[in-house]
Amino acid sequence: MRYRGRFAPSPTGPLHAGSLVAALASWLDARAHGGQWMVRIEDVDTPRCMPGADALILQQLATCGLTSDEPVVWQSRQGERYQGVLQTLVDADRAYPCGCSRKDIEAALQARGVSLQRHGTAVYPGTCRPDQGGLNGRPARAWRFACSPAAAVVRWTDRRQGEQSQDVAQAVGDFVLKRADGLWAYQLAVVVDDAAQRITHVVRGEDLADNTPRQILLQQVLGLPRPAYLHTPLIRDAAGEKLSKQTGAPPLELSDPAATLGRAAAALGLPATPGSVPERLLSWTGAWRARWAP
């Protein structure tokens, strides 16, 4: 198997110190395995995207010596592929249209006395499931994945976090594949693209670890290979908050790229090393290989 890894930023703004850690880790893992490293711009959530952020991110990565081995892929250009996969799931009775608004969902949950919240998002009560009566005459808004409660327990081993498991039906429920605003959901897009790009290893921030079981479930249902997963530690600000654009993380300071990379490497537990950007990358590749690809 030929190693193929990727870094998949959402262009909602320029890279910050936290995103550089994920970029560096995925690049080092690819190099340590003698593999390929690709950049994919995840711009499906168009209202959250910032015009020009994609070009800026690619430039920031290049300044840090990280360039895609294959032409960069933009998710906003893959709509036909996502539609085809949604149709496959519909044909297999694993996706269905949903006519519920957020309010409908909350009301249905309240009526059942359920107060199950997950990151502020309610676990979908299954109102529009075909076996519960379907849309019942309401117009379709979103499309959801139909979890089979009997087979929704996903087990996997994260290379850093170890043995993991989640009952997706219970923890998340029938999750959205295509949103009410017509945009593709991250879960579907990421699974389709990881498969289309033949990604063998996913290395990304720990904040995304919680999505992994949904993605594995989709891979299983679609008969797609499962990549190996490694979730990297997050960088937190002085208040202990994860660094993110939402919490106002400043864009990367790149007047001294070697020093900026040095801070990202330190967050990954890699030793300080002198030299230029290429020299440091080479030295960290050796250290990474010893730890993660012996």
Q: Is 16 in the site for ligand GLU (CB under 6 A)?
A: no
β-pairing, 4-7 with 176-178? unpaired
Among 208, 217, 249, 293, binds ligand GLU (CB under 6 A): 208
CA separation for the pair 268, 288 (Å, rounded): 9
Number of chain positions touching ligand GLU (CB under 6 A): 7
Q: Which is nearer to ligand GLU, 10 or 60 (CB)?
A: 10
Find the part of the chain contacting ligand GLU (CB under 6 A) among 5-13, 76-84, 88-96, 102-110.
5-13
Q: Which of residues 37-66 bind ligand GLU (CB under 6 A)?
A: 42
Phi-psi region of 78 (alpha: psi -120 to 50; beta: other; left: phi over 0): alpha
Q: Which is nearer to ligand GLU, 57 or 281 (CB)?
A: 57
Q: Is 9 in the site for ligand GLU (CB under 6 A)?
A: yes
Cα 16 to Cα 27, 237, 240, distances in angstroms: 16, 12, 16
CA separation for the pair 10, 48 (Å, rounded): 9
Q: How far is the CB of 64 from ligand GLU (least distance, A)?
A: 17
- Those residues with Cβ within 8 angstroms of residue 85's Cβ, 6 or more apart along the chain or in another chain: 188, 192, 222
Exposed e or buried b per residue across 274-289, where buried means at least 16 C-beta atoms within 10 angstroms of its C-beta: eeebeebbebbbebbb
Q: Which is nearer to ligand GLU, 10 or 260 (CB)?
A: 10
Helix axes 277-292, 257-267, angle to 10 degrees: 10
Q: Which is nearer to ligand GLU, 128 or 168 (CB)?
A: 168
Q: How far is the CB of 208 from ligand GLU (least distance, A)?
A: 5
Find the part of the chain contacting ligand GLU (CB under 6 A) among 2-10, 47-55, 170-178, 233-241.
2-10
Q: Is 204 in the site for ligand GLU (CB under 6 A)?
A: yes
- Those residues with Cβ within 8 angstroms of residue 294's Cβ, 6 or more apart along the chain or in another chain: none
Instruction: By CB under 6 A, name the binding residues for ligand GLU.
Output: 8-10, 42, 190, 204, 208
